Structure 1
Amino acid sequence: MDLHLQIVFIVASILTIIYIIRKIRKHGLNIDDSIVWIVWAIVLLIFSLFPGISDFASAKLGFMSTSNFIFSLFIFFLYIMLFSQTIQISRLKEKQKDLIQKLSIKEYEERKEK
């Protein structure tokens, strides 16, 4: 890996970690969701500091180049995040439906009493 590219990855990883921590502190970002992003930034930092790890992994997994391995890793990570958010959205929709039904029943009972 080119030294300039390695420095860019290191700086980007560190800035990502700092950005996420600031969002947690100032804007109340959910810690459960942000842990995944912090771990991902740390993994990228490790790959940036020790490029031999990604070279070794890409060779063992049969990738033509290390960049293909990194891109595949990114896509896999984003796919997992999308699936996780889909699960959260599904749960929220179910809770919303329950709340709407309870509110409707309560309003019906209040109208019935009047």
Structure 2
Amino acid sequence: MSDLLRWLLAAAGLVYTYFAMFMLIKKKLNELNTLVWLSSCFVIVVFSIFPELFDRLALAVGVAYPPSLLFLLSVLVLLLLTLHQSMQISKLQEKIRDLTQFLALQHAREHPGVQAEEERRKEPGAAE
């Protein structure tokens, strides 16, 4: 790997770090997700500055062609991130359902006449 490419990758990792921190400051990412992204930034910077570490890792694992190990690890990380995001979406959907039910019950308690009026309108033959 040329020195220019090495430094470009390191700079890209640092820019990536800046954007992750910026998103945290602007409250676009929560702390846990920011840690995940900052960890990936750290890995990018370290392996771009010291690519021989990744070659040694590939050799230790028994992979003959290091870019294939990089591809495999990238796919696995993306799958884990997708699973994590799916779990977060499921939790949020459950919270939305609970809040919707709570608000409906709260509205029914506060306005009992409105609910009776709406039910009367739905009955067949009710005068409009």
- Counterpart check, 1:106 vs 2:106: yes
SS of match in other structure, 1:18? helix
Structure 1: 5+ residue runs without aligned partners? none
Matches within 5 A, 1:1-114: 1-25=1-25, 27-29=26-28, 30-112=30-112
> What is the distance in 1 between the residues matched to 2:63 and 2:13?
23
* One-letter code aligned to 1:20: A
> What is the distance in 2 between the residues matched to 1:100 and 1:23?
29
* One-letter code aligned to 2:72: S
TM-score, normalisation: structure 1: 0.86
Q: Which has the higher helix share?
A: 1
Moved over 3 A (4+): none
* One-letter code aligned to 1:108: A
**Mean CA deviation greater in 84-93 or 57-66:** 57-66
TM-score, normalisation: structure 2: 0.78
Aligned-residue RMSD, C-alpha: 1.7
Q: How many residues align?
A: 113
